[in-house]
């Protein structure tokens, strides 16, 4: 067996945290991801079966939900990103597929994305400079796709005005992190 | 330009990709007698109105849905935005 060592999207052994006055940016590699897309004509069955399994209703357009174990983000009509803790649910796609059966297609997404958790009172100032989302109008538990630094990302508002997560393509983790940190330096007084 | 997405609300046009005339939804029956002629018209003949125009837009930097946008080509005023799949189904396309 090879002695392989997992690295974070930024290529480190430990997740990186950047702290600013009123803001922190933390790399979060601890979530497993999979997309769930209901097949044509099976939308109702898919929603019912998967909602029962994850313990919360799959959210509607623009919304997200966080349950005890699983979370879900609406990403497209009849399509969701499902997330759970990586340690216990690394095979999240294999957990979901038997539940959804023929009603949906499930695609493993864990290593396709990097995630940065942004917390602090300056979060709105940060994102209104980084993307064209009306971030101050975002309610808690909503998510939207947007472009940050020419990178297509999901902006997930977990707690309005204070707690956000950004999901971006893992291969662009460095560029996305650079954009977040650079703007954070500009908006947060030293 | 702002496109009022039926599910997500007003979104900047830079998030979208423009495809073209919404009559692309009306793909001819390839088994029909006059299929060759119908496909010629379908592929090559387009109206080019100075005024109201129905066109397909793709929300690439968003929820990846196709929209049918009714836009006035003179003023750029957008009067209606529908999900293309709803439009297609209303015309008996898809399953």
With CB atoms and an 8 Å threshold, state whether B7 touches A77: yes
What predicted TM-score, i.e. pTM, was given to this entire model?
A: 0.91
**For position B95, what pLDDT does the model report?**
56
Cβ-Cβ contacts under 8 Å, B16 against chain A = none
Q: What domains can you pick out in chain A, each with its CATH number?
A: 17-29+112-187 (3.30.1360.120), 31-111 (3.30.70.1520)
Instruction: Check if B36 contacts A (Cβ < 8 Å).
Output: no
User: Which chain A residues are within 8 Å of B15, Cβ to Cβ?
Assistant: 132, 146-147
Q: Tell me: pLDDT of A106 over 60.
A: yes
If you average pLDDT over residues A28-44, what whole number do you get?
A: 96
A189, A25 contact by CB (below 8 A): no
**Closest-approach residue (CA) in chain A for B65:** A76
- Which residues of chain A from 21 to 80 reach within 8 Å of chain B, CB to CB? 40-41, 61-62, 75-77
- pLDDT, position A186: 95
pLDDT of residue B92: 83
Section A88-107 average pLDDT: 97
With 90 as the cut, is the pLDDT of residue A2 above it? no
Spell A77-86 as b/e; 16+ CB within 10 A means b: bbbbbbbbeb
Pick the CATH number of B2-90 from 3.30.9.10, 3.30.2270.10, 1.20.810.10, 3.20.20.140: 3.30.2270.10
Mind listing the pLDDT tens digit for each residue in A45-60?
999 999 999 999 999 9
Q: Is A145 at the interface with chain B, CB within 8 A?
A: yes
| Residue among A107, A106, A103 nearest A49 (CA) | A103
pLDDT in tens, B17-64: 999 999 999 999 999 999 999 999 999 999 999 999 999 999 999 999
Percent of all residues in chain A with a pLDDT value above 90, rounded to a whole number: 96
Residues of chain A found within 8 Å of residue B94, distances taken between Cβ atoms: 40
Model confidence at A98: pLDDT above 80: yes
* Angle made by CA atoms A76, A80, A86, in degrees to the nearest 5: 145
Q: Give residues with Cβ within 8 angstroms of B46, minimum separation 6.
A: B20, B21, B23
- pLDDT score recorded for residue A1: 74
Mean pLDDT score, B72-89: 94
Give me the mean pLDDT over the A153-173 stretch.
Answer: 97
């Amino acid at each position: 067996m090879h002695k392989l060592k997992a690295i974070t999207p930024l290529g480190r052994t430990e997740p990186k945290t950047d702290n600013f006055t009123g803001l922190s940016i933390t790399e979060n590699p601890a979530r497993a991801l999979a997309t769930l897309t209901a097949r044509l004509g099976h939308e109702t069955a898919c929603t019912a079966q998967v909602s029962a399994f994850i313990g919360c209703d799959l959210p509607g357009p623009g919304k997200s939900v966080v349950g005890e174990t699983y979370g879900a983000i609406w990403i497209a009509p009849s399509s969701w990103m499902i997330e759970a803790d990586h340690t216990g649910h690394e095979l999240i796609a294999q957990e979901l597929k038997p539940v959804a059966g023929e009603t949906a297609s499930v695609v493993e997404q864990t290593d396709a994305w990097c995630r940065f958790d942004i917390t602090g009172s300056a979060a709105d100032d940060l994102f209104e400079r980084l993307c064209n989302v009306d971030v101050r109008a975002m309610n808690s538990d909503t998510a939207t796709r947007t472009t940050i630094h020419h990178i297509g990302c999901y902006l997930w508002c977990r707690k309005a005005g204070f707690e956000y997560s950004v999901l971006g393509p893992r291969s662009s983790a460095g560029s996305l992190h650079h954009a977040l940190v650079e703007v954070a330096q500009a908006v947060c007084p030293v | 330009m702002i496109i009022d997405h039926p599910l997500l609300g007003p979104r900047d046009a830079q998030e979208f990709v423009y495809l073209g005339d919404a009559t692309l939804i009306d793909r001819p029956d390839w088994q029909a007698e006059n299929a060759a002629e119908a496909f010629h018209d379908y592929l090559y003949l387009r109206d080019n109105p100075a005024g109201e125009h129905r066109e397909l837009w793709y929300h690439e930097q968003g929820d990846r849905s196709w929209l049918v946008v009714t836009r006035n080509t003179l003023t750029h005023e957008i009067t209606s935005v529908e999900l293309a799949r709803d439009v297609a189904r209303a015309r008996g396309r898809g399953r």
